[in-house]
Structure 1
Amino acid sequence: MNTPRILISIDLEELKLSANNNNGQEMSLEERQQISLDGLGKTITLLDKYQVRATFFITASWAQAYPEVVRQLALKHEVASHGALDKEVLEQIIGDRLYGCRMGASIKPDYSSLRAAGYLYHSGGQQVRPMTIEGDCYEIYAESVRPLWITKLFLGRQPVISLHFRSWELSVHPISRATGPRLADRLDSVLGYLQRKGQFIPHIEWLQEQLTD
């Protein structure tokens, strides 16, 4: 059997508007972006430890706040957009084409519109198979890392594991007892396990493999 492909994706986005700071006040956009940046540092440490090449889905506002960070990510990882309208902003920042998009969890993707905007694929939790075709746009399924169930998905004879999380989930901000250091420890364990089982690969490279088979 072919080596299993492992797709790891990370959302780089701001915390939701209702998040509060230590004084009980609603956080500013800058505070919410900073928490995501803090979590990104821990994310990169884990990815480098296990030689993971991942896909980062980034909002335009986050990329505009930290353009150099985004450019550095693009040197090793795939950069994709977190929102259909973010494509042009991100492409200007990294100086390259974007192929992927991830809409918010509550937003149903319009595949025909995404394809018309120049996206090749969408990656969310809408499908139960690793790759389907919807309106000339591919859907790559992504399972949440919480509670870190390892779901093996199959396309032909090649197993595919596809997991995602948000960078702010690894921050020190007390959002949930399931995030922060606890999630970082669990991710450390699962990435070590997956490294022994297959090959980490960005979404676009995996999709190109399927289209050329």
Structure 2
Amino acid sequence: MSKQQKRILISVDVEEFDIPEEFGQQVSLQDKLEISRKGLQLTLDLFEKYNVRATFFITAYWAQHYPELIRRIAASHEVASHAYYHSTFSEADLEGSRLALQEISGQQVKGFRMPRLRKVNMAALQSAGYLYDSSVNPTWLPGRYNNWHLPRTLFKDQDVWIIPSSVSPLLRYPIFWLSVKNAPLWVTKHFSRQILRKDPYLSFYFHPWELVDLKSWQLPGYIKNVSGQKMYARLDGFLSFLQQRGEFCAHIDLLASEKNN
């Protein structure tokens, strides 16, 4: 497969900025909403620079506060569900968030990603009208998940397509927000090359709030040290690298090409 045929899947988890609450801090509703909004504006500017078409996994609650911004996203990108709220979940949220996002965006919503990549009930997901799930990072992250046994690339589970985040062959080194943030860019490029030599696509995700300076928050260094302008520069370098190695496309585009094969 040539470089032109390789697919580059960039996805963005748009949610209430609630990560400080995992570390015992309170976050006002205004900060939860506005910090993500500021980061999202920077994300869209960066995507325009590199002509990125991406998938935005958005909580319905956040979307309800910024409907015009959601419609701006929908004009060029795929809108998918990140549940209704980021901190709480019930299976009723699966259909509820999909319908709410469709109404706001004017776009059919076919994809889902569970907050914090928790496990999803596939039967419930299919019943709620979804075509695919992207809640799998097929590696081991201490305290979060151990998914070494799962396939690294596109597969099906109970008739639902699963689009995992990319990890390298053999070592299963993950290419996701924490690794890109904490490793030198040359390390990220090295493992990305390995993935693209082996796989037909690379899938990477991050959060808009990472593009806001987080130094004032009491967060671990591995979350806040590379944030704001530093994270913007890191993503700029990574997207520049990826642009030369494939075609940016949304998750739903990958599935459309799969159906045509």
TM-score over 0.5 for the pair: yes
Task: Give yes or no for contact 1:5–1:206 (8 Å, CA) kept in 2.
Answer: yes
User: 1:70 is matched with which residue?
Assistant: 70
User: 2:234 is matched with which residue?
Assistant: 186
Structure 1, unmatched stretches of 5+, are 20-24
Task: Give yes or no for contact 2:74–2:107 (8 Å, CA) kept in 1.
Answer: no
Give the Cα separation in 2 of the matches to 1:27 and 1:119.
32
Q: What displacement does 1:158 show? A: 5.7
Task: Give yes or no for contact 1:130–1:154 (8 Å, CA) kept in 2.
Answer: no
User: 2:133 is matched with which residue?
Assistant: 122
Task: Give yes or no for contact 2:6–2:196 (8 Å, CA) kept in 1.
Answer: no
RMSD: 2.3
Worse-matched range after superposition: 190-199 or 27-36: 27-36
The question of 1:167 aligning with 2:208 is answered yes
Task: Give yes or no for contact 1:169–1:180 (8 Å, CA) kept in 2.
Answer: yes
Which is bigger in relative contact order (C-alpha 8 A, separation at least 6)?
1
The question of 1:103 aligning with 2:105 is answered no
Offset from partner CA, 1:11-33 (integer Å, 9 cap, x none): 110111745xxxxx832212211
Task: Give yes or no for contact 1:133–1:139 (8 Å, CA) kept in 2.
Answer: yes
Q: Which runs of 4+ in 1 moved over 6 A?
A: none
Give 3-state SS (helix, strand or coil) of 2:26's partner.
Answer: coil
Q: Sequence identity, in percent?
A: 38
Indicate which of 8, 21, 24 corresponds to 2:10: 8
The question of 1:112 aligning with 2:123 is answered yes
User: 1:145 is matched with which residue?
Assistant: 177
User: 1:90 is matched with which residue?
Assistant: 101
Give the Cα separation in 2 of the matches to 1:168 and 1:102.
17
Task: Give yes or no for contact 2:117–2:136 (8 Å, CA) kept in 1.
Answer: no
Offset from partner CA, 1:143-163 (integer Å, 9 cap, x none): 4133223445479x8621100
Offset from partner CA, 1:181-200 (integer Å, 9 cap, x none): 21111100010010011100
Give the Cα separation in 1 of the matches to 2:137 and 2:236.
27
Task: Give yes or no for contact 2:136–2:162 (8 Å, CA) kept in 1.
Answer: no
Task: Give yes or no for contact 1:36–1:167 (8 Å, CA) kept in 2.
Answer: yes
What TM-score, normalized by structure 1, do the two folds share? 0.90
What TM-score, normalized by structure 2, do the two folds share? 0.74
Output the amino acid matched with 1:206: L
Q: Which has the higher strand share?
A: 1
Worse-matched range after superposition: 179-188 or 55-64: 179-188
Task: Give yes or no for contact 1:130–1:153 (8 Å, CA) kept in 2.
Answer: no
Give the Cα separation in 2 of the matches to 1:45 and 1:67.
18
Task: Give yes or no for contact 2:117–2:137 (8 Å, CA) kept in 1.
Answer: no
Change (3 A) 1:200 1:95: same
User: 1:30 is matched with which residue?
Assistant: 30
Give 3-state SS (helix, strand or coil) of 1:105's partner.
Answer: helix
Give 3-state SS (helix, strand or coil) of 1:179's partner.
Answer: coil
Offset from partner CA, 1:130-189 (integer Å, 9 cap, x none): 21101111110124133223445479x862110000111111232511222211111000
